[in-house]
Structure 1
């Protein structure tokens, strides 16, 4: 029974994801910057004009220089005046003198600030039209000063009115006290005389206060700097959107790179194969995209890796007679690796049989009678040596699949396959089985091919093989107890296999030898029958 994989899922390094998806990150970075620039270019230019007003202390206002009021240099008082600039009375007066403006629209584009340690209000207005920005800034300043003068005059009139009412009452009280001082007892006359003197002093004080209020003509504020020539957005502001778009594109690109690396889960190096639990016996040196290699160089490196695999296999004790080559990628690298390994054994002087279950007879009207692995499974009396196909290599023969059907696949098992290949092993042949994957294999076929082998060679294509496929082979090896080793190749390395075995017709130099060998094989087959 296959044991579940309890190992934690390997974490994807951020640097590796960026390195292998640098093009995606760069494209999204450029697209984000271009998108930000396009957005900034389509946004209308905004002009800002600023006017400055000096606020003078005035009686009855928050900046009044009376002992009961706050200090003139307190910022809270200026903040009160700044709020009055944005009041409905001030902005309503501006809207009445202009067309196409609303109180809400002016308030949204209006900014009022108080420079530290000053009694100055900075009124700024932004608009798409520079002339409109300057006019509205001046209009808001003038409306604020007019409103402040009106408030000052109203407070002053109220105070003068109160002083006048108090003066009238004081005069009436003085008349009553003067009349009362002419009659009554000496004590009553003395009291009324003192009261009359006090009322005379109060009347003098009230008249002095009224005179001071009537003579107060100081302005409530002045414009120290009219609205300046409107200025467009600074260069830094124009670069905000492109930079922000580039940063957003960079962030999205990094997230997509991590997500793609996580979802694909491909193996990138031989170290990851070792971490998965496979012994890497050989690996083709890795090269970068910009390091182009010629076909001859690829062939030399692959030939060296295959020789290393062959040497390792021959050094095992006992030596494996049946070797299954299984791939983990989506290409046909496993088939090329099986051919390369078979050719390497023949060059070392070993007799080799290459089993290719995926190869079958031709279809349609061109179909001919052909024997292969399917017929060996169906007919137990059929000898495997009778269906071998010779190649140009004297020591290499090929056993094709013969067109595996549903009926023959029912008989496909590790024990049955082992029995079919037993005569080849007894004669000293090294059997190399190419394990088909994908559409060429039926359900459970790979388990039969791997179970019938003494050793499984896993071909890992860096950048294409999935980590989950490698983990599945490791779990299967642990469950069945069959040894597995790995050959790590790069993308496109097996497109130039080392001296690939071809199934061409024999050359003239070897025609006689192949003919005699065929005659001897036929005689042996007839004697067996």
Structure 2
């Protein structure tokens, strides 16, 4: 027997198939949420510009930096989002909040390059492009200002010195002009003037060099101009739908698993195997319809299921094992349907069978299904009112099938261990098989008592009606006795007229056979067989003793 520990991938596939609608519904809801989120989200556009950063005289190499070279690009990336650059960009854009602009700009450094990727997000393509251009230009202007600040200071200092020298030259020239040509000290003054003029020339050359160096400063340039984005980067519909699917599918699978584990009713054969530890002998598919209160035809879909069940049961019983108890889980027609159709399948296979109605709580009894009288019956035998031979009747349409009804004293006299053992022993001598329709296990212990004197037990379970807990408890109660529990037969949730209130106890009149296809012709729709059967027994009354005398030696 396979237990939950031996669950295979196919078992999980069964769980998925049984709750496919839940999984599909969860995925559909998740996708709908993704579509709604995409439709409700604000459109965001992004424009990007590439700025090549060049080294300047003010740059110094940083030891241990992530990027190689004289320029530390990680530092430059932070400068793009600095307050000074943001204020300059806000002034260019006419924006009031530099902090808001900083939150919308991003800077990346491609590996092994001296390039900054400056991106700006906005609610329109034009605003995104304008923001990128503003931050790119503000960053280059800030870097240029930092690189030229020292040069400007040196130029200012040099210019001030030049001005002082020029003033000294002017003073010296004035003094020289006031002196007589042959005055003493004139030569010294002329020498001083020449020296001042040489200093003025050197200072002017130095200032000119600084001016030239300042004009040659290149902090970087834009190598990829910002373009107007054609489509928004957010919301990203494919990403949102993929994320919704990634959330909805696992959630649907988890809900399907939870539904499987929390299910309270038996719904599929796997429920019997995994949660009730029962082998499934046969399953009547939901497509099989119960249109009449009678057994299935030999070649109908339901008839073929029970023919296969007969073969399975017969293969598991030895020649000395003949008594089979069919018990239901909850009150209803499940056990009666299984017992009647199993007995019919055995009879069609040539075995002499006795069907015993020991279940007074069913909605459809064996006498009604086989067309026999419910009285006298089993309860009358156990109460001592009649003999077993008087309670045994032949099924009108199955010459090798005998039926024992529940009897008129069904509510007054229940089974005793001695009576059950004696009855089953006599019936086993009269036929190849004895099929007993036992009371449900959830409300009576009679089935366990009857099974104690039988050779095999079969549980009849109705899908979506019998509880898993009760079914598992029924299996446990049957395993507590020595009789082998062969397994369970799973019936569909809809049994049609089998679930309705039973007919009056008086024997029903045989209805004319309905017009149906050959494959769907039920046995009970045929006319009753009159006279003697091939085994020598009357088709109307077949006492147990006569059955024993005329039974097949098998």
TM over 0.5: same fold?
Answer: yes
What is the alpha-carbon distance in structure 1 between the residues aligned to residue 224 and residue 363 of structure 2? Answer: 97
Structure 2 unmatched ranges of 5 or more: 163-198, 289-296, 365-373, 512-526, 544-554
Alignment-derived partner of residue 242 in structure 2: 243
Is the alpha carbon distance of 1:244 and 1:331 closer, same or farther for their aligned partners in structure 2, counting shifts above 3 Å? farther
Corresponding position: 1:399 with 2:405? yes
The Cα of 1:370 is off from its aligned counterpart by: 7.6
What is the alpha-carbon distance in structure 1 between the residues aligned to residue 66 and residue 354 of structure 2? Answer: 106
Q: TM-score, with normalisation over the residues of structure 1?
A: 0.65
Q: Does the 8 A contact of 2:3 with 2:273 survive in 1?
A: no
Write the deviation string for residues 307-359 of structure 1: whole angstroms up to 9, x where unpaired: 4257447x723242x32013579985543220012224444362523214144
The Cα of 1:36 is off from its aligned counterpart by: 2.9
The Cα of 1:434 is off from its aligned counterpart by: 1.9
Q: Residue 480 of structure 1: SS of its match in structure 2?
A: coil
Aligned partner of 2:301 among 298, 320, 324: 298
Alignment-derived partner of residue 125 in structure 2: 130
Q: TM-score, with normalisation over the residues of structure 2?
A: 0.62
What is the alpha-carbon distance in structure 2 between the residues aligned to residue 251 and residue 458 of structure 1? Answer: 37
The Cα of 1:257 is off from its aligned counterpart by: 4.1
Q: Looking at secondary structure, tell me which structure has more helix per residue.
A: 1
Residue pairs, 1:328-367, within 5 angstroms = 332-347=333-348, 348=350, 350=352, 352-359=354-361
Alignment-derived partner of residue 311 in structure 2: 308
Is the alpha carbon distance of 1:425 and 1:8 closer, same or farther for their aligned partners in structure 2, counting shifts above 3 Å? closer
Q: Residue 5 of structure 2: SS of its match in structure 1?
A: coil
Residue pairs, 1:409-488, within 5 angstroms = 414-415=417-418, 417-418=420-421, 424=427, 431-437=434-440, 441-459=442-460, 476=477, 478-486=479-487
Corresponding position: 1:81 with 2:80? no
The Cα of 1:125 is off from its aligned counterpart by: 0.7
Is the alpha carbon distance of 1:15 and 1:449 closer, same or farther for their aligned partners in structure 2, counting shifts above 3 Å? same
Structure 1 unmatched ranges of 5 or more: 168-201, 363-368, 522-529
Write the deviation string for residues 223-269 of structure 1: whole angstroms up to 9, x where unpaired: 44442112324799532222222233332333344444455587647
Alignment-derived partner of residue 38 in structure 2: 40
Q: Does the 8 A contact of 1:266 with 1:467 survive in 2?
A: no
Alignment-derived partner of residue 252 in structure 1: 251
Count of paired positions: 454
Alignment-derived partner of residue 227 in structure 1: 226
Q: Does the 8 A contact of 1:374 with 1:402 survive in 2?
A: yes
The Cα of 1:458 is off from its aligned counterpart by: 4.0
What is the alpha-carbon distance in structure 2 between the residues aligned to residue 53 and residue 349 of structure 1? Answer: 96
What is the alpha-carbon distance in structure 1 between the residues aligned to residue 433 and residue 86 of structure 2? Answer: 98
RMSD, aligned CA: 5.5
Residue pairs, 1:18-417, within 5 angstroms = 18-22=13-17, 23-24=20-21, 25-62=23-60, 74=69, 77-98=72-93, 102-158=97-153, 212-215=209-212, 216-217=214-215, 218-233=217-232, 237-263=236-262, 268=269, 296-299=299-302, 301-309=304-312, 311-312=314-315, 316-320=318-322, 322-327=323-328, 332-347=333-348, 348=350, 350=352, 352-359=354-361, 379=383, 383=387, 391-393=395-397, 395-400=401-406, 414-415=417-418, 417=420
The Cα of 1:89 is off from its aligned counterpart by: 1.7
Q: Does the 8 A contact of 2:380 with 2:408 survive in 1?
A: yes
Is the alpha carbon distance of 1:452 and 1:119 closer, same or farther for their aligned partners in structure 2, counting shifts above 3 Å? same
What is the alpha-carbon distance in structure 2 between the residues aligned to residue 116 and residue 330 of structure 1? Answer: 77
What is the alpha-carbon distance in structure 2 between the residues aligned to residue 338 and residue 419 of structure 1? Answer: 21
Q: Does the 8 A contact of 2:361 with 2:439 survive in 1?
A: no
Q: Does the 8 A contact of 1:46 with 1:128 survive in 2?
A: yes
Is the alpha carbon distance of 1:212 and 1:376 closer, same or farther for their aligned partners in structure 2, counting shifts above 3 Å? farther
Q: Does the 8 A contact of 1:60 with 1:156 survive in 2?
A: no
